[in-house]
């Protein structure tokens, strides 16, 4: 599969980019090489290769969800201008 300069212009338009003619030519060559390499990868026989999500065997990467330090309402509201029980008290703005 080869890429044409018109396709580069269309991609640039979709990405809202502008390139000089020299840059368009360079991008055409570079993307063409990339596409040819990907085509070569498609020729590999992968029938006996199992799908892989991780390189190493990961059983459970998550830790147990538990509270390590409970919040102290008095410490959290120490600098509040006004409070009511364990909540910030704010002026009413909706009537």
Other C-beta atoms within 10 Å of 8: how many? 22
CATH hierarchy code of domain 5-42: 1.10.20.60
Mean pLDDT per 10-residue interval, the chain, length 95 residues: 88 94 93 92 87 80 83 90 91 86
- 35 contacts 1 by C-beta, under 8 angstroms: yes
Quick one: 67 exposed, middle or buried, by C-beta within 10 A (0-12, 13-18, 19+)?
exposed
pLDDT at 2: 83
* pLDDT the model gives residue 60: 76
8-state DSSP, 50: P
What is the residue extent of each domain of the chain? 5-42
Give the pLDDT of residue 26: 94
Give the number of residues written for the chain: 95
* Encoded tokens for 26: 């360079």
Residue 29's pLDDT is 93
pLDDT of 13: 94
In this prediction, residue 88 carries a pLDDT of 92
């Amino acid at each position: 599969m080869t890429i044409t300069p018109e396709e580069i212009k269309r991609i640039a338009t979709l990405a809202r980019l502008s390139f000089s003619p020299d840059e368009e030519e360079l991008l055409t060559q570079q993307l063409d090489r990339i596409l040819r390499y990907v085509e070569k990868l498609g020729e590999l026989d992968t029938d006996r290769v199992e799908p892989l999500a991780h390189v190493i065997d990961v059983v459970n990467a998550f830790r147990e969800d538990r509270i390590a330090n409970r919040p102290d309402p008095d410490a959290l509201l120490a600098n509040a201008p006004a409070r009511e029980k364990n909540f910030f008290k704010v002026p009413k703005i909706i009537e």
